[in-house]
A and B are shown apart, each in its own frame.
Chain A
C-alpha cells in the first residue's frame, strides 16, 4: 500500500483520485480526531491519505463576475481576515473553533465533513452558494443543499474533489449570525443561525433564514421566505405566529452530549424572533 500522496497540482490530485482509493484530507482537524487512537499512536486510516494542502489552485479567493469564489483549501482564519468577504462569512468563521484550529481547518473540509452542526453550512445555504466538484473527466456545479445528503453524508463521488465554493454577490441590509455553544471558543454548535434580509421601498424584498444543528440537515424554508417577500412591516408582524408555527415543525433537533431537543428548539425559535422582530422589523421603521 502506498503511504500517501502530497500532489502539487490539482491535475495530479485528480489523477490520483481517479486511479487509487484515497482519503482526501486538507487541514486534518476533523479527520485526525475522528481516526485518533491513544496518545503516541498514529491515527488509523483505512486508505492512504491524499493531502491537499500544497495545491495552490485550491487556495484562491477571488471575484468572478457576480460571484465570490472561495477555494476549498482556504483556511477559516483567511476567511476571518479577508475584508472583502461579506460580514456573515467572516463572522461565522470568527466564531468557529479557536485560532489554533482556524489556522489549519479549511472551508472545504468543513463542508465535506458534512456534520449537521458544521458552522459554514448555514451561511452557504442562506446565500444560495454553489459548490464546484471536479474529477479528472468532468466538472459540475451544484447547490450546497444538493451536496449534503444527510449527517456526515454528501454526494461527492469517489473520483471527485470539492474545489471551490461560489457565493452570489448580493446586497443585504441585515446580516445576522448567532452561534450557540457552551463557551465562546472551541465549542461545537448547539445551534448555528444565519439570517439575511433586504429592503426595497419600505417593503421586505428578500429574507433568508438557515439554521444548523437542529435537524439532520440545515433548515431553510424557501416557500415561507417567498411568502414574506414584498410585505410591509405591519403585514410581517401579523404573520409572526404563522412563521413560528412553520419553523416549529421544521426544527427537529436531537438530544446529544452537547444539548437537548427542548433547548435547541426553544432557542432556535427565540433566535427567529430576535432576527425578525429585533433586527429586520426595527430596521424597516428607519
Chain B
C-alpha cells in the first residue's frame, strides 16, 4: 500500500506493506545508514529516529504508523545548529567510544533539547533511558548532553 510521510523535511511515498519495519525502509530504500539495528526489539535504541519530534525505535515501528507523519534521522538534522552543538559537546566529553549507540544517543539528545530548554539531571537520564551503550560510557554521554544543553543556551 502507498505510505506517504515526511522524511527529513521532504515528502516521500513508498509502496510497501504497512507491517514492514521502518528501519528497513529507511536503510534499504532511502540509504539512511545512520540508524543501526542492535537488538531488533526496541530495547537498545541504536535505531532511534524522531517521529513528529519524539524519539522512537524504528526497528519496532510498523511503516504504516508513520503514514502522514514526519520522520527525522541524523542525516536530516546534521546541518542544524543544535546538531553542531551536540557534536562538539560529545567530542569534548569523550562521549563516543565504539560509536554504535551514538546516532541513537544524538537523536534522543535532539528530542530532549527541542522539548525541554532547561533539563535537570533526571530529565537527561530519562531522555536516554531507551538507549543502551554497550561500552557503558554513560558518564561521558551524560556529560556530553549536559554540555550540549549548555551550549544551546549560550547561543
Contact = CB atoms under 8 A, between A and B. Distances in A.
Say if A and B assemble together.
yes
Interface of A: 3-4, 6, 25, 27-29, 32-33, 35-36, 38-43, 45, 49, 51, 53-54, 77, 97-101, 103-104, 184-186
Given A100-B42, A104-B56, A39 B37 contact: yes
Interface of B: 1, 17-21, 24, 28, 37, 40-43, 45, 48, 51, 54-57, 60-62, 64-65, 67-68, 108, 126-127, 129-131
B37 A101 contact: no
B48 A33 contact: no
- The A interface, classified by DSSP as helix, strand, loop or mixed, is loop
B62 A6 contact: no
Contact of A100 (B17, B18, B131): B131
A184 to B, nearest CB: 8
Given A3-B1, A28-B61, A104-B56, A186 B37 contact: no
B61 A104 contact: yes
Given A36-B60, A42-B19, A98-B130, 18 more contacts: A4-B18, A27-B65, A33-B60, A36-B41, A38-B40, A40-B28, A42-B17, A42-B24, A51-B18, A51-B62, A51-B64, A51-B65, A51-B67, A54-B68, A98-B45, A98-B129, A100-B57, A100-B129
Contacts of A99: 55, 108, 126-127, 129-130
Contacts of A101: 42, 57, 60, 130
- The B interface, classified by DSSP as helix, strand, loop or mixed, is loop
A105 B36 CA distance: 21
- 8 closest residue pairs by CB, A with B: A100-B130, A98-B130, A185-B129, A98-B129, A4-B18, A32-B60, A3-B1, A51-B64
B40 A4 contact: no
Given A40-B24, A42-B19, A100 B65 contact: no
B21 A4 contact: no
B153 to A, nearest CB: 22
Contacts of B40: 36, 38-39
A118 B109 CA distance: 29
30 contacts: A4-B17, A4-B18, A4-B19, A6-B64, A6-B67, A25-B62, A32-B62, A33-B60, A36-B41, A40-B24, A40-B37, A41-B24, A42-B17, A42-B19, A49-B18, A49-B19, A54-B67, A97-B130, A98-B45, A99-B129, A100-B42, A100-B55, A100-B108, A100-B129, A100-B130, A101-B57, A103-B51, A103-B56, A104-B60, A185-B129
Nearest to B48: A100
A100 B62 contact: no
A184 B20 CA distance: 30
Contacts of A185: 129-130
Contacts of A27: 65
Contacts of B19: 4, 32, 35, 42-43, 45, 49
B103 to A, nearest CB: 13
A1 B17 CA distance: 11
A186 B41 contact: no
A32 B61 contact: yes
Contacts of A43: 19, 21
